[in-house]
């Protein structure tokens, strides 16, 4: 199974990239870092710079058909940059068109709001996104993890780094399906 981790060149919360990445790799699946530009992605520990990670694939030359699932790590800046990039938004939207599972944590659902794929779905996120999700037609809940099987596809969401154990367990369970 090939799993795309979509992120901007800077601003991803490092732990929200690393823990799901380790969960995917732990299952013997192939995680791939997909970004809007080649090179590296600068991760952060909240507002402090963290490590850099090499980009495997660029959105411009990738399609959802190349992958079996999508993970949208958070951080404040990462999804804010992604939601302003038409190709990144279209890439995320396409996973729903193919009914492939998507997982998003923290501010990650901002990209899904922009992609207009939360309407009628129940999801969670960092609390400051609740109004955006409701305005986009989604149902926001304050839960560690929320799995929504509304067609097409499955959406797994979580609120914050403290919820990563529940998020990773749900992600692995749903990606296995």
For 128-137, write each residue's pLDDT tens digit.
Answer: 999 999 999 9
CATH class, 2-176 region = alpha beta
Beta-carbon contacts of residue 149 (< 8 Å; ≥ 6 apart): none
What pLDDT is attached to residue 151? 86
Under DSSP, is residue 143 helix (H, G, I), strand (E, B) or coil?
Answer: coil
Record the pTM.
0.98
Q: What is the pLDDT of residues 32-41, one digit of tens each?
A: 999 999 999 9
Residue 44, strand partner residues: 13, 49
Tell me the average pLDDT across 15-24: 98
Nearest to 73 by CA among 142, 4, 175, 1: 4
Q: In the beta sheet, which residues pair with residue 6?
A: 34
Q: List, in order, residues 6 or more apart from 93 with CB less than 8 Å away.
A: 115, 116, 117
Catalytic residue positions, numbered: 106-107
For the chain, domain boundaries: 2-176
pLDDT bracket for residue 30 (50, 70, 90): very high
Beta-carbon contacts of residue 23 (< 8 Å; ≥ 6 apart): 168, 169, 171, 172
Report pLDDT digits (tens) over 41-62.
999 999 999 999 999 999 999 9
For residue 66, CA distances in Å to 1, 19, 22 come to 10, 22, 20
Q: How do strand 145-148 and strand 155-158 relate by DSSP bridges?
A: antiparallel
């Amino acid at each position: 199974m090939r799993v795309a981790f979509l992120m901007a060149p800077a601003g991803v919360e490092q732990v929200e990239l690393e823990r799901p990445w380790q969960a995917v790799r732990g299952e013997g699946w192939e995680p791939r870092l997909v970004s809007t530009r080649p090179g590296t992605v600068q991760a952060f520990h909240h507002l402090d710079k963290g490590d850099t990670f090499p980009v495997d694939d660029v959105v411009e030359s990738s399609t959802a058909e190349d992958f079996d699932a999508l993970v949208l790590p958070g951080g404040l800046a990462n999804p804010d940059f992604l939601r302003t990039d038409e190709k990144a938004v279209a890439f995320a939207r396409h996973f729903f068109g193919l009914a492939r599972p998507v997982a998003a944590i923290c501010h990650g659902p901002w990209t899904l709001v922009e992609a207009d794929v939360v309407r009628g779905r129940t999801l969670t996120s960092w609390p400051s996104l609740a109004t955006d999700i409701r305005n986009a037609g989604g149902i926001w809940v304050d839960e560690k993890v929320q799995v929504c099987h509304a067609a097409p596809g499955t959406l797994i969401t979580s609120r914050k780094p403290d919820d990563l154990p529940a998020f990773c367990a749900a992600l692995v369970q749903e990606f296995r399906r």
